[in-house]
Structure 1
């Protein structure tokens, strides 16, 4: 397994990113963009990217907070329980808009292409990254063939940049794994998202992980659940195996 540190030029500056590839990955095989959760790129996400790369994909993990670098690092288990780090985190999250990440995603796709990835692209996002994975699929439908969100928040909110509003532009297959109880993606948003995707005739599945809390997939979260995480891996790898061909 190899990790290459990249400097990706965007419209607003330079974003750091990690590029992960296994020995068995073909340079012409599919690529994956992994959109971070609120705590930013770190060893836990590197490990998840390595696992995906082990399936034969080239995986890019960009720093969505690069406009405000340097920052952190943050401890995912305690960052939201300490007022100082909570305030810093929320400033990063709210200061990194969907529009910014949509613009950046063009550069992320170009970075994969420059590395020789000419096959289809999948996106996956966790927490704040979930909406970004879906919005990227809507804005770049000719490149992105699969998009997954796990414990993603505000996927069908009243905001103008809510992903459900762009459902008609999505050509990718979509999978949404929602936490059993999640204030950032309540039942009414799940219903609204399902209706938008169904009306737009998007191939999709929305699955409720009963008993799982927001953040259950990521190993350094306080609510990490091994069985639930393995279930998420099965769904994600099946999605990509069926679509990124």
Structure 2
């Protein structure tokens, strides 16, 4: 497995990113953009990117918080329970708007193309990255074939930048894996997202991981659940195998 450190020029500056590829497969033509959770790029996400790269994709993990670098590092198990780190995290999350990440998406896609990844692209996001993965599919419908969100929050909120409002622009297949109980994605939002995707005739599935808590997929989270995480991997790998080739 190889990790290449990239510096991606965006409209607002330079974003660091890791590009993961498997040495065992021929040069990957299909790519995946992995949108981080609130704790930023770190070894846990690198490991997840390596696992996806092992399926034959080039996987890009960009730093969405680059406008505020340097920051952290944060311990995913304790960062939200300590007031000082919680305040720092919330400032990063709220200070990095959906519009910023949507704008960055073009540079991320071009960076993959510049590395020879010229085939179809998938997106996957966790926590705050979930909405960004869906919004990327809406913003770049001709380049993104599949978009997945796991324990993503505010996917169908009252906010103007909520992904459900852009469902009509999505051409990708969409998969949403939701935590059993998640204040950031309550039942009324799930219903609203389902309705928006269905009305827009988007090929989609929304699945409730009963018993899982927000963050269950990511190995350094306090609520990580191995069985639930493996189920998420099966769904994600199938989604990309069927859409990215």
Deviations, residues 191-226 of structure 1 (Å, cap 9, x unaligned): 000000000000000000000000000000000000
Alignment of 1:37-48 (within 5 A): 37-48=37-48
Q: How does 1:35-114 map to 2 (within 5 A)?
A: 35-114=35-114
Runs of 4+ displaced beyond 3 Å = none
CA drift at 1:93: 0.1
Cα contact 2:141–2:169 (8 A) shared by 1? yes
Structure 2 partner of 1:13: 13
Change (3 A) 1:25 1:100: farther
Residue 26 of structure 1 corresponds to: 26
What is the TM-score normalised by the length of structure 1?
0.99
Contact 2:28 2:57 in 1 (8 A): no
Shift of the alpha carbon at 1:23? 1.3
| 8 Å CA contact retained: 2:34, 2:59 | yes
Where structure 1 has 5 or more consecutive residues not aligned to the other structure, the ranges are none
Q: TM-score, normalised by structure 2?
A: 0.99
Q: Number of paired residues? A: 245
Distance 2:29 2:234 in 1: 20
Distance 1:186 1:146 in 2: 24
Q: Whole-Å Cα distance in 1 between the matches of residues 3 and 24 of structure 2?
A: 14
**CA offsets per residue over residues 138-168 of structure 1, 9 Å max, x none?**
0000000000000000000000000000000
1:137 alignment counterpart: 137
In terms of mean alpha carbon deviation, does 25-34 or 113-122 score higher? 25-34
Corresponding residue SS for 1:211: coil
Tell me the alpha carbon deviations over residues 78-118 of structure 1, each in whole angstroms, 9 at most, x when there is no partner. 00000000000000000000000000010000000000001
Whole-angstrom distance in 1 between the partners of 2:153 and 2:106 = 22
Which deviations, in whole Å up to 9, do the C-alpha atoms of 1:33-60 show, x marking residues without a partner?
A: 0000000000000000000000000000
Give the Cα separation in 2 of the matches to 1:72 and 1:39: 8
Per-residue deviation at 1:29? 1.9
Cα distance between partner residues in 2 of 1:173 and 1:69: 33
The residue that corresponds to 2:160 in the other structure is: 160
The answer (yes or no) to whether the contact 1:19–1:59 under 8 Å persists in 2 is yes
